[in-house]
């Protein structure tokens, strides 16, 4: 009788899970396992909250199949070795991860298992395409998104859903409880409002997808840039934890195309966002130092500033620029930030405050519930100008103009910066222009003055950019 171990990682779902389905279909007994290995893949505070609830959700789903999720904390190599010996495991299944340290770890574990005579099967459970399969005409990897995504669309081949045809028996083994890991914040409980915004788990992911398709997909291309409008899918944290796969999303959108009234431009626009996630993993695979080193080496000479006070003001949403502060406060209260605003706050940190993009990336990893190492690193480098397919160095977001364009009535600002709730529209994006009597509050006391003058900061940033381009 064959006994299999299924190692859950960034694939916390049972439906359309290639590794899990294969293990169930090929074996009499299946042991689901999750390992918290902080030495290889530490997660931030916001994602600890999500992981706690996602694991509870997965446990409930597996329990309906009479399977018990085993939880362990520590070295994955040691834990799997011990379980293989103690439980007489014949086969081990997992879906691949693509972060550099996880690739190194998985390679070692796979070889160790093979040497012991254990069958190992790894599958693709989180990407549309394996990063090593997409190459340009010269056989090299793409460095620009548009030709990369065009190539993907031309060669895409949608697989059948991974379906469980045989339900195996479970096995009870000693394990930890998720509450033992103390993943939830306690004193203070800064995640108290998260439950108002999120439902971690496979069911929550499917509900989020259904809601987006039924209520927000039509008109998405136009409305997605308005942070006051609940127009985006908010599927990113579910994708990060693998509670839904990109193929599940893709198949759902293919069904939409059967409706002659469907919004083709919005559907294609949304799919391109899935494409950006793919491209980020693609870049990380081919440039493993993406989270730490400038993709463009000339940025190694950029004179980043070190200012703890400016960094903390940015983190707390007290820069004096309302659209920036609204974004940073939304992040703190919800573990999320609208994508347009992410670009604005990242540009402000790197091009107005001249603080190293790695400082911002680190803060996002700790505070975002959807912080992929790949997407986070690629996104910050794109905004900073140091990344692949990066915005031109001279593209520096003006936080006032961005606010006026994408939050014209200040609805987003008023929600997250309540001290400005009653400021007139003409002052809401630049309160320092008005007098105290016109504002109804005192700058420097009720709301901060701007940390920097945008136009002066822009000149300095351009000076530095032009200088490193000549070196």
Give the residue numbers annotated as catalytic, written as ranges: 273, 276, 304, 339, 357, 380
CA-CA distance, 443 to 427, in Å (whole number)? 12
Contacts of 298 (CB under 8 A, 6+ apart): 468, 469, 471
- SS percent in the chain: helix, strand, coil, step 5: 50, 5, 40
List the strands of the sheet with 91-95, edge to edge: 70-73, 29-36, 3-8, 91-95, 119-123
Contact, 420 vs 322, CB < 8 A?
Answer: yes
Which residue stretches of 368-441 are H helix? 373-384, 399-406, 411-416, 425-428, 436-439
Q: Which two tokens stand for residue 263?
A: 């919004």
Residue 8, helix vs strand vs coil? strand
Token look-up 């839904």 returns: 244
CA-CA distance, 225 to 245, in Å (whole number)? 24
């Amino acid at each position: 009788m064959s006994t299999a171990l299924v190692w859950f990682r960034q694939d916390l779902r049972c439906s359309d899970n290639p590794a899990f389905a294969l293990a169930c279909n090929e074996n009499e007994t299946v042991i689901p396992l999750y390992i918290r290995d902080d030495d290889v893949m530490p997660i931030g505070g916001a994602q600890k909250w999500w992981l706690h609830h996602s694991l509870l959700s997965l446990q409930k789903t597996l329990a309906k199949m009479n399977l018990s999720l085993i939880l362990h904390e520590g070295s994955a190599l040691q834990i799997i070795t011990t379980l293989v010996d103690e439980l007489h495991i014949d086969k081990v299944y997992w879906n691949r991860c693509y972060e550099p340290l996880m690739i190194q770890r998985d390679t070692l574990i796979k070889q160790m298992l093979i040497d012991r005579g254990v069958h190992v099967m790894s599958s693709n459970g989180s990407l549309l395409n394996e990063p090593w399969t997409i190459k340009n005409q010269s056989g090299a990897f793409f460095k620009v998104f548009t030709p990369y995504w065009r190539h993907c669309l031309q060669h895409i081949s949608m697989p059948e859903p991974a379906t469980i045809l045989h339900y195996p028996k479970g096995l009870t083994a000693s394990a930890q409880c998720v509450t033992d890991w103390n993943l939830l914040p306690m004193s203070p409980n800064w995640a108290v409002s998260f439950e108002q915004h999120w439902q971690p788990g496979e069911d929550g992911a499917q509900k989020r997808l259904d809601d987006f398709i039924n209520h927000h997909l039509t008109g998405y291309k136009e409305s997605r840039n308005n942070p006051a409008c609940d127009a985006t899918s908010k599927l990113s944290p579910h994708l990060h934890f693998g509670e839904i796969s990109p193929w599940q999303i893709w198949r759902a959108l293919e069904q939409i195309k059967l409706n002659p009234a469907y919004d083709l431009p919005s559907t294609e626009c949304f799919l391109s966002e899935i494409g950006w996630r793919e491209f980020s993993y693609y870049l990380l695979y081919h440039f493993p130092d993406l989270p730490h080193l400038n993709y463009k080496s000339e940025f190694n000479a950029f004179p980043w500033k070190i200012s703890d006070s400016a960094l903390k003001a940015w983190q707390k949403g007290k820069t004096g620029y309302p659209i920036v502060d609204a974004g940073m406060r939304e992040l703190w209260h919800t573990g999320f930030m609208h994508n347009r605003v992410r670009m604005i706050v990242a540009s402000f940190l790197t091009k107005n405050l001249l603080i190293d993009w790695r400082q911002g990336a680190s803060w996002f990893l700790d505070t975002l519930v959807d912080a992929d190492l790949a997407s986070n690193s690629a996104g910050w480098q794109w905004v900073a100008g140091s990344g692949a397919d990066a915005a031109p160095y001279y593209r520096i977001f003006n936080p006032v103009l961005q606010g006026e364009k994408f939050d014209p009535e200040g609805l987003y600002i008023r929600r997250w910066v309540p001290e400005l709730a009653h400021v007139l529209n003409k002052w809401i994006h630049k309160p320092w222009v008005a007098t105290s009597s016109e504002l109804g509050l005192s700058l420097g006391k009720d709301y901060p003055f701007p940390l920097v003058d945008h136009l002066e900061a822009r000149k300095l940033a351009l000076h530095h950019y032009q200088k490193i381009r000549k070196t």
